[in-house]
Structure 1
Amino acid sequence: MSADRIKVLIVEDDPLIGKRYQMILSKDEDIECVGVAASGYEGTMLAALNKPDIILMDVELEDKQAGLRATAEILNYMPEVKVVMLTVCETDDTVFRAFELGATNYLLKNMPAGAVLDAVKDAYYDRSSLHANIAGKITREFKRIKTTEDSLLHNFTILTQLTPTELEVLELLMKDYTRQEICKMRHVEQSTLKTQINSILRKFNKSSVQEIVPVLRELHIPQILAQRKGTLPVGSK
């Protein structure tokens, strides 16, 4: 038996699953289970008391985000701990959030015993062992984020090229005012508003307002503009 065994803490609210992991870990003489917690709160306390090397952390404990919250708190105070997330059904958002918080790996609860032991040892020895489907999810999420950031930068750059009048018109369009309402609010003729909107479309290289507004809303441009009134001039003709 090794003098320094890998200390593992299990955080799992299903006692049967927790017991299964205990049995799996007990079959490897290089691993020692130092505790089993049934909630994120208890897991945080036991982590502080037992100082494990590895934590097998269920994502959904007392609520759907409890495992993620516990992971964030533990790693904030004990960054050297390696956390392997456990779940019955992984989603892209949850997987990415777990790794964003600093989790080392991510396992489905029905993985065979060998995979669990491998995940523990790979985490301990800093070996990359992401399952192919998990690695794919992370890659897709990073790609999605980069695409969104590129789109945000692209569209915000165009916004800075709009005249104050065009920017005000665009903001009103994003608030679902009709063209007739905008004309009344801005005291302009329909032909003037049409010219302004056409200028906006040319700068965005789009043929209709419907191609612009949904994208800007998805990128939270209205909220950004509301927070940056002093940066982008709005309201003067």
Structure 2
Amino acid sequence: MIKVLIAEDMPALLKKYQRLLEKDSELEVVAAVQNGYEAVMKTVLCQPDVILMDIEMETRTAGLDAASQILSQYPEVKIIILTSYEDDENVFQAFKLGVSDYVLKNSKQEELITCVKDAYAGRSPIRPVIAEKIRREFQRVKQSEDSFLYNLMLVTQLTQTEIDILDLLRQGYERSEICSMRCVEMTTLKRHIHNILKKFDLDSMAEVVKLVNDLKIYDYLHNVKNMDLKDTR
């Protein structure tokens, strides 16, 4: 007998899934809960083999949060994500956590039961739609890494003075304040800013600042600097 826990915050759907699954003699619904907290608690108490987990319950990511907690303590439990729509980000995040599969809420009884049995038997396939989601996500991550590395290279091509000025602008200092802090004339500062824009091939410092902030390039540079300082002690 396969023990199943269902976590779904809509009572009507919760009862529907319970009714559909219990029509199969090989499945036993050991718990039916309406939030992520109860899903974690009932997992401890009922020791289910498979969990049907809604993503959005008391919070938008309650199901993912509960899945993370459960799998950290019970990695052998098979979790199937229930979702109303094929959301790339949530589906990929679920698979990174270690869930076995996902199924749309409007799936027919046969698909739901097959999904549960396949997960229990370790046969949950990476269906074409999931494979495509994963491919797109890795492509997005790769593009992001390329962008980070390219712009990090641009930052390293700045002079130390230009790096310091960009850092001050990034922190929100006005140009007049930077002139005072660095004891330079405005014309000198403008020349440095012109060189920065030229190296980034952008039209405004606002664009450069947004770029380095979005990619967290200065966080990376500061971390590297701190590591270097520790190594010299």
Q: TM-score category by the smaller chain? A: 0.7 to 0.9
CA distance in 2, matches of 1:231, 1:192: 33
Confirm or deny: 8 A CA contact 1:40 1:69 kept in the other structure.
Answer: yes
Residue 92 (structure 1) aligned to one of 88, 93, 101: 88
Work out the percentage of aligned pairs sharing the same amino acid: 47
Residue 50 (structure 1) aligned to one of 46, 54, 67: 46
Alignment-derived partner of residue 106 in structure 2:
110
Deviations 1:92-137 (A, max 9, x none): 3322222221112122211111221222122223334455544433
Q: How many residues align?
A: 229
Confirm or deny: 8 A CA contact 1:35 1:46 kept in the other structure.
Answer: yes
CA distance in 1, matches of 2:22, 2:126: 23
Q: Matches of residues 204-215 of structure 1 in structure 2 within 5 Å?
A: 204=200, 206=202, 209-215=205-211
Counterpart of 2:30 in 1: which secondary structure? strand
Q: Name stretches of at least 5 consecutive residues in structure 1 with no aligned partner.
A: none
Q: Matches of residues 143-162 of structure 1 in structure 2 within 5 Å?
A: 143-162=139-158
CA distance in 1, matches of 2:40, 2:207: 48
TM-score (norm 2): 0.82
Q: Matches of residues 19-38 of structure 1 in structure 2 within 5 Å?
A: 19-38=15-34
Give 1:177 shift: 4.3
Give 1:193 shift: 2.8
Residue 82 (structure 1) aligned to one of 78, 82, 88: 78
Q: Name stretches of at least 5 consecutive residues in structure 2 with no aligned partner.
A: none
Confirm or deny: 8 A CA contact 1:12 1:57 kept in the other structure.
Answer: yes
Confirm or deny: 8 A CA contact 1:160 1:232 kept in the other structure.
Answer: no
Counterpart of 1:212 in 2: which secondary structure? helix
Residue 18 (structure 1) aligned to one of 11, 14, 17: 14
TM-score (norm 1): 0.81
Residue 120 (structure 2) aligned to one of 114, 118, 124: 124
Confirm or deny: 8 A CA contact 2:55 2:83 kept in the other structure.
Answer: yes
